[in-house]
Every structure is written in structure tokens, then in C-alpha cells.
């Protein structure tokens, strides 16, 4: 039986990297969500043409993170393809406004929209995926967070410079831990992908005086997949880790 992986936000960046990495594994069905506006994006075309391993295949569905109904509709499409369980869901889709807005200038609109995209959207995705996760033998849920989502690390990394994004990811962290405590059958973790060479990652790196972000997308994804593969309910679930498998403070 194929391992079924659902990844939100696969049109580019880390989500795209995850999709390619899991398609490279034999006997994997990769379900990737994209926004309707990204249907013809270069990253989506790359995924469609990607040489999947033996027995592996790609299914694309449409989810806009600001839509409360898209996740449920997407899961109906998944079921219509005969998929009856989900082994792994990676809530990757999210985003930060660029340039980032500090605490004293951030608007209510930016706060609300960014919270919707990075916290409410993943929660709606979890609610939609939960019945199919329950049907898997060893299901896992992963929230892609950020170091800025750690309240404890705020003073060290100056996350208030990107107030809306960091606050929304802190909310995502809370929701992730709540999913752990309310679903004892599920392995749940939040992951910090590190400063990765995506468009936002490289922008932040330059703001910090770096030429480019620290990790390639492939390095970030590879590190996180090792953490995901080893994750168990007893030792990892309900915690926050980085791509080096180091536990981070909430």
C-alpha cells in the first residue's frame, strides 16, 4: 500500500521541495495543495513533470488559506480519487508580508490577514484531514513554523521586526500543541525550517547583512524529513524542533 502524504502550498519554496522529495520515494502518493492563481506557476509545472519513483504519483488540489471551505472541498476531491487515509500531513502553506512591518506600525488588516493565512488556515486543514488521518496506521501531522514563532527566543532574534508573521506562527505553535493533546493517536510536531533560500528567506538574510539565506531548500527539507521519519508519539510529539533535530523552546 502506498504511503499517502498531503503537503499544503507546493507551488514553490519549501512545500515544492517537500513534494519532490516524497515523490522521489517509491510507493508514495503525494497530494499537494496550490492556490488557484498558482495553477500555471513554474513550480507547479516542474512538479507535474517531475520523474516520480516507482509506484509514486502526484495529485494536486486547490486550497486558498484564507478560505474556510477550501480544505473540506479539497478533501472531497482526495476521496473521489479513492484515497482512504493520510499517513502524513505537512501544513506548510503560509506567508509573510514583505517588507516586514514592526510592532509600532503594523496594521490591523495585516495582523488579521497574516493570522488567517498562517494559523487559521492550518487549523481548517487539520479539521478537514483528521478523519483520513485517523484511518492511517501511524499518522503524523507537521506544522511548518519559524524561529520567530518562539516567544522564548524573541529577544535573541528580534522577531518583533516581523510582528504579524511571528505572532501568527506563535499561534500556529499553540494550535499544534493543542492538536497533540487532543488527539492521543497522532504524532504531532512543529518544525522550524531554518533561514532557507526562498524569496522571503533571502530577503530576511539581506536585511541581516547576509548575501543569502543559510540553507538551500533541499538541505532544509532533507533535515526536516529526518526529524519527521524518526518522530514518535512518546519522544517527539507535541514539541518544536529545528531541521537539526534540536528541540526549541516555545
Residue 243 CA to residue 224 CA, distance in Å, equals 5
169 is catalytic: yes
* 206 CB neighbour count, 10 Å cutoff: 12
Establish whether 115 is a catalytic residue.
no
Q: Which of 20, 115, 140, 169 is catalytic?
A: 169
Among 22, 115, 165, 215, the active-site one is: 165
- Strands (E) across the chain are located at 3-8, 28-34, 57-62, 88-91, 140-144, 187-192, 239-242
Three-state secondary structure call for residue 241 = strand
For 173-180, which contacts have Cβ atoms below 8 Å and span 24 or more sequence positions? 173/143, 173/145, 173/149, 173/240, 173/250, 175/119, 175/122, 175/123, 175/126, 175/143, 176/141, 176/143, 176/145, 176/240, 177/238, 177/250, 179/126, 179/141, 180/237, 180/238
The catalytic site residues sit at 165, 169
Amino acid at each position: 500500500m502506498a504511503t499517502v502524504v498531503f503537503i499544503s502550498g507546493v507551488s514553490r519554496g519549501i512545500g515544492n521541495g517537500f513534494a519532490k522529495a516524497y515523490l522521489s520515494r517509491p510507493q508514495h502518493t503525494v497530494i499537494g495543495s496550490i492556490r488557484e492563481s498558482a495553477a500555471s506557476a513554474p513550480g507547479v509545472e516542474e512538479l507535474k513533470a517531475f520523474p516520480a519513483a516507482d509506484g509514486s504519483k502526484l495529485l494536486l488540489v486547490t486550497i486558498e488559506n484564507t478560505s474556510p471551505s477550501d480544505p473540506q472541498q479539497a478533501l472531497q476531491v482526495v476521496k473521489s480519487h479513492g484515497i482512504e487515509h493520510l499517513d502524513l500531513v505537512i501544513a506548510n502553506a503560509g506567508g509573510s508580508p514583505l517588507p516586514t512591518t514592526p510592532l509600532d506600525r503594523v496594521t490591523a488588516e495585516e495582523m488579521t490577514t497574516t493570522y488567517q493565512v498562517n494559523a487559521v488556515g492550518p487549523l481548517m486543514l487539520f479539521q478537514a484531514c483528521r478523519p483520513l488521518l485517523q484511518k492511517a496506521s501511524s499518522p503524523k501531522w507537521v506544522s511548518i513554523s519559524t524561529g520567530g514563532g518562539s516567544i522564548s527566543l524573541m529577544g535573541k532574534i528580534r522577531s518583533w521586526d516581523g510582528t504579524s508573521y511571528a505572532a501568527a506562527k506563535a499561534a500556529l505553535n499553540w494550535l499544534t500543541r493543542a492538536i497533540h493533546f487532543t488527539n492521543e493517536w497522532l504524532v504531532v510536531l512543529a518544525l522550524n525550517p531554518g533561514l532557507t533560500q526562498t524569496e522571503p528567506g533571502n530577503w530576511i538574510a539581506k536585511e541581516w547583512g547576509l548575501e543569502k539565506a543559510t540553507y538551500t531548500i533541499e538541505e532544509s527539507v532533507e533535515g526536516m524529513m529526518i526529524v519527521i521519519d524518526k518522530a514518535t508519539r512518546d519522544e517527539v510529539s507535541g514539541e518544536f524542533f529545528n531541521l537539526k533535530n534540536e528541540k526549541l523552546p516555545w
